[in-house]
Amino acid sequence: MLSEKTILTIKSTVPVLEVHGMAITKKFYERLFTHHPELLNIFNHANQKQGKQQAALANAVYAAALHIDKLEAILPVVKQIAHKHRSLGVRAEHYPIVGEHLLAAIQEVLGDAATDEILRAWSEAYAVIADAFISVEADMYKQSQEQNGGWAEFRSFRVARKVKESDVITSFYLVPQDGGAIAAFEPGQYISVKIQIPGDSHTHIRQYSLSDASGKSYYRISVKREDALQGRPAGKVSVFLHEQIKEGDVLAISAPAGDFTLELQDSKPIVLISGGVGLTPMISMLNTWAATDPSRPLTFIHAAQHGDMHAMREHVEELALQHPQLSVHWCYARPTERDREANAFHKEGLIDFPWLTSVVGNKESSFYFCGPTPFMKAVNEILIEWGVTKTNIHYEFFGPASNL
């Protein structure tokens, strides 16, 4: 446990972290990769370049300082990050390295303001927080390895099928190369895919939601091809998967992870809201619902640019014909003439308060949503304005956590 003096010292740094947090985390990653370039095999290079990882770490450090006297308040965040760490292969021996360079970055950015007392306090605090992560992650590795069909880090899977779902999304059906069993997973969880791209000196790891229910002989991921757009570079891994990976190829896969999962024991109506490739965990939730609890009312809402970018529409509509408790609604921002002629959508434009509340009807439902960050912010604001309780709002970011 931390002493009262250490807690007060850490809390005194909260205003400084609010101002200089990003500068500290940028300096931290510069130092980390300079001294330990092998860690570039774990981190997402694109998130580094875009500043997303630095922002996520700055938020985490700030939250730790703010709640240092009641660390149990950040335990859900610890577990969320620990899921990602386990799926990436982060190990206990990485934490002293991180601590060394984080403290050095604080000292370098703050200069004389980083007194010996402050650095000692942060060293103590980091040790406590790191121990929490190490303990949680050790349990996750053990559980992952010991479950039926499980494994600890990465395992070879063969691409059994590759299916184009829309103009931008392709599904990959993955079966274990060793022919053994595969671990069960909760609807909404993801796996990590480790790729070695020819010509690149480091491996790339990306996390993709599982897009089908558990209990099958395969895992399915449905990947959006991220082409270059308005100054944003193309997604190296997604383009490589779309263009280079063929049926029969072998990929290194982590066991399923993640805490954005459908609460199967809940009795409230379910509302699944997705934008773009945020559809993928929702399809897993939907398919699980159809197989286990189709008497529970479920509203499925998906927003896409237009019909050509709308994946798995036929599958969802077929389920709606089979299950009277399933209501489906499509929202197209820029419908094509073909969409209009076929009456292929229910709303043109963006999801807004009047439309969403009229479609759902019952604000005492359990809401799950996923998609681009601006989309999630808009949905979150609608739900808050409607008066949906916080405990009924569930969402996940693709990539480092941000703020809605």
- For 142, residues 6+ apart whose C-beta sits below 8 A from its C-beta are none
| Range with lowest mean pLDDT among 48-62, 107-121, 349-363 | 48-62
Residue 218 labeled ligand binder: no
* Residue 137 bears catalytic tag: yes
Residue 398 labeled ligand binder: yes
Question: Which burial class, exposed, middle or buried, applies to 178 when counting CB atoms under 10 A from its CB (0-12, 13-18, 19+)?
Answer: exposed
HEC assignment per residue over the chain: CCCHHHHHHHHHCHHHHHHHHHHHHHHHHHHHHHHCHHHHHCCCHHHHHHCHHHHHHHHHHHHHHHCCCCHHHHHHHHHHHHHHHHHHCCCCCHHHHHHHHHHHHHHHHHHHHCCHHHHHHHHHHHHHHHHHHHHHHHHHHHHHHHCCCCCCCEEEEEEEEEEECCCCEEEEEEEECCCCCCCCCCCCCEEEEEECCCCCCCCEEEEEEECCCCCCCCEEEEEECCCCECCECCCHHHHHHHHCCCCCCEEEEECCECCCCCCCCCCCCEEEEEEHHHHHHHHHHHHHHHHHCCCCCEEEEEEECCHHHCCCHHHHHHHHHHCCCEEEEEEECCCCHHHHHCCCCCEECCCCHHHHHHHHCCCCCEEEEECCHHHHHHHHHHHHHHCCCHHHEEEECCCCCCCC
The pTM of the full predicted model, rounded to 2 decimals, is 0.93
Domain ranges of the chain: 4-146, 154-254, 270-396
Residue 25 labeled ligand binder: no
Pick the catalytic residue from 137, 165, 186, 396. Answer: 137
Identify the pLDDT of residue 400: 61
Confidence of residue 306 (pLDDT cuts 50, 70, 90): very high
Residue 395 labeled ligand binder: no
Give the tens place of pLDDT for each residue, 204-229. Answer: 999 999 999 999 999 999 999 998 88
Confidence of residue 401 (pLDDT cuts 50, 70, 90): low
* Residue 173 bears catalytic tag: no
Note the CATH architecture for domain 270-396.
Answer: 3-Layer(aba) Sandwich (3.40)
Residue 294 labeled ligand binder: no
| CATH number of this structure's domain 154-254, picked from the four choices 3.40.50.11540, 2.40.30.10, 3.90.700.10, 3.40.1000.10 | 2.40.30.10
Residue 281 labeled ligand binder: yes
Q: Class of 4-146 per CATH? A: mainly alpha
Percent of the chain with pLDDT over 70: 99
Give the tens place of pLDDT for each residue, 230-283. Answer: 777 888 999 999 999 999 999 999 999 999 999 988 899 999 999 999 999 999
Is residue 55 over pLDDT 90?
Answer: no
Pick the catalytic residue from 29, 95, 219, 395. Answer: 95
Is residue 128 over pLDDT 70?
Answer: yes
